[in-house]
Chains A and B, each alone.
Chain A
């Protein structure tokens, strides 16, 4: 099946720094990718929809200046957590849909765990 890869899988940073997380579709093209956040023992919460070549669409309550999303190519979307604080510590997951073989199925990355000290 289609593979979505995230990097890094885990990262620890100091408060006030920025962290970039990459989401790549390895063997398919994705005009749209989705970014989720998962708190411990809680559900995945959709943060934003990343659109190739245009601005991301953020869900209500998600700060767009805090969570910068760039989708510069059909295989790469990046999420940058700016001026990270301990409350941003979480598990971030991306997903993508194959635009060519459009079965509607979403393929998920393995997730990136961010810990802000």
Chain B
């Protein structure tokens, strides 16, 4: 079956530091890949997505590239802010699996001033 694995947190870093959250996946078909973010006290929000190999999703300074050869979709941001403190979820949606979203375990990021 499909699965998503992402690095465990918490990840603690200082403001303006570089952030990377690793995400790898297994899928039976050709999935679309997503990063969702959950700020404290709020619901999950779509951060970015990529629908095919080599696509790069980007939003709010975050980027992730769909790497089919390594089955990865790592999230990066060059200079984080305190407001980026949140839980980040990597997810995939696979038409071969009924288009259901499969989530990774989530990574909590804490940015200190």
Q: CB-CB contacts of B43-63 with A at 8 A, as 1s and 0s?
A: 111100000000000000000
Taking CB as reference atom, which chain B residue is nearest A45?
A: B103
Q: Digit string of B76-90 for contact with A (CB within 8 Å is 1, else 0)? A: 000000000000010
Contact B101 A43 (CB under 8 A): no
Bound Cα distance A106, B106 (Å): 17
Judged by a CB distance under 8 angstroms, whether A110 is at the interface is: yes
What CA separation (Å) do A108 and B101 show in the bound complex? Answer: 12
The 8 Å CB contact of B105, one of A42, A105, A106, is A42
Q: Is the CB of A44 within 8 A of B103?
A: yes
Contact at A106–B46, with CB atoms within 8 Å? Answer: yes
- Total interface residues in chain B, CB < 8 Å: 15
- Interface SS of chain A: helix, strand, loop or mixed? strand
Cα distance A100–B88 when bound, in Å? 28
Among the listed B36, B43, B100, B101, which residue makes an inter-chain contact with A110, where contact means beta carbons less than 8 Å apart? B43
Residue of A nearest to B44 (CB): A108
B45 to chain A: closest CB distance in Å?
7
Digit string of A35-47 for contact with B (CB within 8 Å is 1, else 0)? 0000001111010
Name the CB-closest residue of B to A94: B43
Chain A residues near B4: list those with CB within 8 A.
Answer: 43
Q: Does B104 interact with chain A (Cβ within 8 Å)?
A: yes
- Cα of A95 to Cα of B106 in the assembled complex, Å: 17
Residues of A within 8 A of B100 (CB): 46
Residues of chain A at the chain B interface (Cβ within 8 Å): 1, 4, 6, 34, 41-44, 46, 93, 95, 105-111
Given contacts A41-B106, A44-B89, A106-B101, 6 further A-B contacts (CB under 8 A): A6-B43, A43-B4, A46-B100, A93-B43, A110-B42, A110-B43
